[in-house]
Structure formats: structure tokens, C-alpha cells
Amino acid sequence: MKKIIIAIDGFSSTGKSTLAKQIANKLGYTYIDTGAMYRAITLYAIRHNYISENEFNEKALETDLKQINLEFKSNPLTQTAEIHLNHENVEDKIRNLQVSNYVSKVAANSKVRKKLVEQQQIMGQKKAVVMDGRDIGTVVFPDAELKIYMTASAEVRAQRRYQELLSKGDNVTYTDVLSNVTNRDYIDANRKDSPLIKAKDAIEIDNSNLTLEAQFQSILALVRKTTSSNT
Ligand code: DC
């Protein structure tokens, strides 16, 4: 079967990563979570006091970009790729509400985007990848063979993220999570550089009322159709 690039874009907590992992496992493809890359740079900015509630020292972060090294390394126990920031595994440190609150601002910086997009394009050179993010089908791989655009209501997405954070022991309220989700939606869709938009040739899936299995099967059918029509 011909190897393709599968681009999955959509707002936060639409279940992109769950779906992307399922598809990658089934096909033996590499899954690349581009949000983790933006989150790791945000963690770097927080640790260096470049970003806080009211300030963002973009110049300082831009100057440091050349010394920020990001790598995905497979964890042999979980069999999933985990993000390393300057050789430190930060997978467990990038999903909290603090990083979530600042990441959209960092991701709106054009120099940050340029660095990460270049790195993502190299990762996809050999195809056989499932990549999820906001601009994969529009900017990173405008020629991806299969593009999925995932949506769900803000309330459903906030509820999912809230449950996820609670299960990790984070002390958050549903209201805080909903406000983070809607703020990020706004910034991600309205920034100047590569805003989240549905690519013209993307297939939209609203999964507010879809089970994971139904969603997985419908995407798998799309993959089969795409790979057979491209062989
Ligand atoms: O998918 P996520 O919630 O982990 O992404 C974190 C943030 O990173 C999100 O608010 C927007 C940004 N992002 C982006 O701008 N472009 C991408 N390709 C992936 C994520």
C-alpha cells in the first residue's frame, strides 16, 4: 500500500491525538504531535521568565531559538514518542494549565512557527506519518494525501480536557478549563501567521456525538479509499 501523509487539524481537545495515535498504530505509521513542540518551547519560555500573565519577551525567545533542541524519542514502555527539550524528557510537564494558558501566544510568534514547521516538514519527508496540529493541512503539508479537520463543541471539548487533567491529579475547575479552551480557540483562529482554518480539501468530522470506535472506523475507511486510489 502506498505510504501517505495524514494531516489532522482542529481546535484543542477535539480528540486529534487519540485518533492520530490509533491510526498510526493500525497502519504502522509514525505519529507526530506538533502541539507538543509548541508546548515544549512554551515551557522553555516559562522557565526563562520570558512569558507571564501580562508580558511576553518575544525578542529574548527568538534569540534563544537556535539553542532550543526538540526531539521525539520513543518510550520503550509505552511505545509512544515523547518530546525532549534540550535532551530532557518533558512529556509530563507540558500538558498542565500553565503551559496551556501561554502556548497560543508562543505559537503565534512567526519565528517560532518557522523553526517548527521546517522541522515538521523534515519529519514527514519519508511519508508514512500521521501529524496533528492546527496548520498541518494548510501550511506544513498542503499536499498531504488525506486531510481531516476535527471539530466538537467547546463544552464537550472542555469536559474532555477537564476529565483528563483531573485523572492526572491536577487541581482545576471546569470553568477554568472552558475559559482556556475558548481563549485558545480565539487566538489560534485569529492570529496573523497560519491561523487555524479548514483546508479546502479537508474532510470535516464533528465528533461531539461520535464514539471513538465509530470515528476510528470512518477515518480508516477514508485512509483505505485514499491509499487505494493513489496506488
Ligand atoms: O494540540 P495542542 O492543544 O497540544 O496544541 C497546543 C497549542 O499549540 C495550541 O493552542 C495551538 C498551538 N499549535 C499550533 O499553533 N500549530 C500546531 N501545528 C500545533 C499546535
The pLDDT of residue 1 is 82
Mean pLDDT, the chain, rounded, equals: 94
pLDDT top residue among 60 and 1: 60
Q: How far is the CA of 134 from the centre of ligand 1 (A)?
A: 6
Neighbours of 68 (CB within 10 A): 15
For 129-165, b/e burial (b = at least 16 CB within 10 A) is: bbbbbbbbbbbbbeebbbbbbbebeeebbbbbbbeeb
pLDDT tens digits, one per residue of 15-42:
899 999 999 999 999 999 999 999 999 9
Instruction: Identify which of 8, 9, 12, 182 to mutate to test ligand 1's pocket (most ligand atoms within 8 A of the CB).
Output: 12
pLDDT tens digits, one per residue of 50-66:
999 999 999 999 999 99
pLDDT tens digits, one per residue of 70-113:
999 999 988 889 999 999 999 999 999 999 999 999 999 999 99
Q: How far is the CA of 226 from the centre of ligand 1 (A)?
A: 26
pLDDT top residue among 88 and 208: 88
Query: Could you give the 3-state DSSP secondary structure of residue 38?
Result: helix
The pLDDT of residue 80 is 85
Give the integer Cα–Cα distance in Å for 111 and 98. 22
Beta strand pairing call for 88-89 and 5-10: unpaired
Triad 196, 198, 204: Cα angle to 5°: 125
Task: Name the pLDDT band for 182 (thresholds 50, 70, 90).
Answer: very high
Contact 45, 52 (CB under 8 A): no
Map out the domains of the chain with their CATH numbers: 5-215 (3.40.50.300)
pLDDT tens digits, one per residue of 110-134:
999 999 999 999 999 999 999 999 9
The pTM score is 0.94
Ligand 1 nearest-atom number relative to CA 104: 10
| Pocket, ligand 1, Cβ cutoff 6 A | 12, 34-35, 38-39, 103-104, 107, 133-136, 184, 188
Distances (CA, A) of 35 to 83, 95, 107, 219, 223: 10, 10, 9, 21, 23
Give the integer Cα–Cα distance in Å for 99 and 162. 15
The pLDDT of residue 4 is 97
In the predicted structure, residue 174 carries a pLDDT above the cut 70? yes
In the predicted structure, residue 158 carries a pLDDT above the cut 80? yes
